[in-house]
C-alpha cells in the first residue's frame, strides 16, 4: 500500500504533497492522537489522510470526534476495504475497495505453486475501486 501510494503521488506530479507517517501497532493510539493534535494545532498542513488499514481508521475516527475535526470541511479521509465502522462514522467514509476474493485466490494459487516446487517470483496487480462517500471534498 505504501509503495502504491508513493507511485500514485509521483505519477500525478504530487511528490511535494507526500506526507507519510508510519505507525507502530504497539503505540498506535498514542501516535494517532499525536498526529491529530499536531493537525488541530496547525503544525501539520494536511488536506487528506489515507488510512492504511481498518485498525488505524477506527483509532483515527475516535481522535477526529474527540478533536471535533469537521470531515470533509477541515480534512478529507479515505480508508481501505470499508466495514461497519465506516458506515457508523458521522460522515460515511470514502474507501478503496479491494478484490479480496481474487487476492485470496491468487495467494493460494501462488502458495500451491511454491509447494509444488515452483521458484518463480511473480507479482499480481489487481484492480481496486474507489467508493466515494461523504468524507472527501473531491
* pLDDT, tens only, 48-83: 898 989 999 999 999 999 999 999 999 999 998 888
Distance (Å, whole) CA 91 – CA 95: 12
Domain spans in the chain, listed from the N-terminal domain onward: 2-98
What are the start-end ranges of the E strands in the chain?
Answer: 48-50, 76-80, 94-97, 129-131
Low-confidence ranges of the chain (pLDDT < 50): none
Architecture of domain 2-98: 3-Layer(aba) Sandwich (3.40)
Do 63 and 23 contact (CB within 8 A), yes or no? Answer: no
Tell me the C-alpha distance between 105 and 135, whole Å: 31
User: CA-CA distance, 37 to 34, in Å (whole number)?
Assistant: 5
Grid cell locating 48: 487528506
pTM: 0.77
Amino acid at each position: 500500500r505504501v509503495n502504491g501510494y508513493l507511485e500514485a503521488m509521483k505519477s500525478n506530479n504530487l511528490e511535494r504533497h507526500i506526507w507519510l507517517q508510519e505507525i507502530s501497532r504497539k503505540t498506535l493510539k498514542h501516535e494517532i492522537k499525536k498526529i491529530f493534535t499536531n493537525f488541530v494545532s496547525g503544525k501539520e498542513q494536511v488536506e487528506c489522510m489515507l488510512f492504511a488499514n481498518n485498525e488505524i481508521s477506527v483509532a483515527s475516527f475516535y481522535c477526529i470526534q474527540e478533536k471535533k475535526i469537521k470531515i470533509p470541511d477541515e480534512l478529507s479521509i479515505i480508508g481501505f476495504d470499508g466495514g461497519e465502522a465506516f458506515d457508523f462514522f458521522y460522515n460515511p467514509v470514502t474507501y478503496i475497495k479491494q478484490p479480496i476474493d481474487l487476492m485470496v485466490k491468487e495467494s493460494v494459487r501462488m502458495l500451491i505453486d511454491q509447494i509444488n516446487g515452483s521458484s518463480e517470483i511473480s507479482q499480481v496487480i489487481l484492480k481496486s475501486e474507489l467508493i466515494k462517500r461523504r468524507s472527501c471534498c473531491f
